[in-house]
Amino acid sequence: MEWFASMPKVELHAHLNGSIRDSTLLELARVLGEKGVIVFSDVEHVIMKSDRSLHEVFKLFDLIHVLTTDHATVTRITQEVVEDFASENIVYLELRTTPKRNESIGMSKRSYMDAVVEGLRAVSAVDVDFASRSIDVRRPVNTKNMNDACNGTRGKKIYVRLLLSIDRRETTEAAMETVKLALEMRDLGVVGIDLSGNPTKGEWYSFVTDHSF
C-alpha cells in the first residue's frame, strides 16, 4: 500500500459531492440540525456507514444537496476534496458536479460554479492547474515531471479539470443551461459535460426526443 500510495495516479470519475469528507458532512449536518432544517439523528448513521445500499447512497446525496446550497460551503468542500486527492498523489483529476440554483440566496448555476473555482484557487497545500485548456491526450505524458512532483524533487502539482453534470431529473431547459455554461467556462478548466443522477428516477429519452437539446 505504501508503494501504491507513492505512485502518481489519475482520477477520471470523481463526484464533488461524493468526495466530501465524512467529518465535514457531520459538521454541516449538525449545524442544520441545530437550526431545525433537518433531523440530525436521521442522517448521522447514513453518513457514518461504509456499506451503504443504493437507496442509502441516494438518501445521502439528497442530504448533501441540502448541505451544499450556499457559496461558502461549495468553496470549502471543493478545496478539501482537491487537497484530499492531492494527498493521495493524484496528479490529474476530473471533478464533476451539478451546477445548482438556489434563488433564495441568490445562487445561480454560474455563481455555484464560481464558488467551485474559488475553492480551486483556495488550495494552498499543492499547486493547482485548472485554468488552462485541456491536456492534449495526443501528446505523450511527461511521466518524469509527474514522478518529480510526487517524490518531492519539485513543488507538488495537481491538474484539475471540471465536468458539469446534468441530472436526469432536470428539464431540458435546465440541461441546456448547463451545456451553455460549460461552453462559457472552457477557459476555467471545464472540459465537458456529464450525465448523472438517481437511475431510478427520470429518463434520458426525454432529452433525446427534445429537438432543442
Number of H helices, E strands in the chain: 9, 5
Inform me whether the pLDDT recorded for 132 exceeds 80.
no
CATH number at residue 76: 3.20.20.140
pLDDT in tens, 179-203: 999 999 999 999 999 998 878 777 7
> What are the tens digits of pLDDT across the range 92-120?
999 999 999 988 889 999 999 999 999 99
> The domain containing residue 156 runs over which residues?
2-209
For residues 96 and 196, is the Cβ–Cβ distance under 8 A? yes
User: In the numeric block, which cell numbers belong to residue 10?
Assistant: 489519475
| Res 145 pLDDT > 70 | no
Query: How many independent structural domains does the chain possess?
Result: 1
Compute the chain's Rg from CA coordinates: 18
Angle (CA) 208 56 38, round 5°: 100
Q: Specify the pTM.
A: 0.84
Mean pLDDT over 34-46 rounds to: 88
At residue 137, does pLDDT exceed 90? no
Q: β-pairing, 9-15 with 127-129? A: unpaired
48/34 Cα distance (integer angstroms): 19
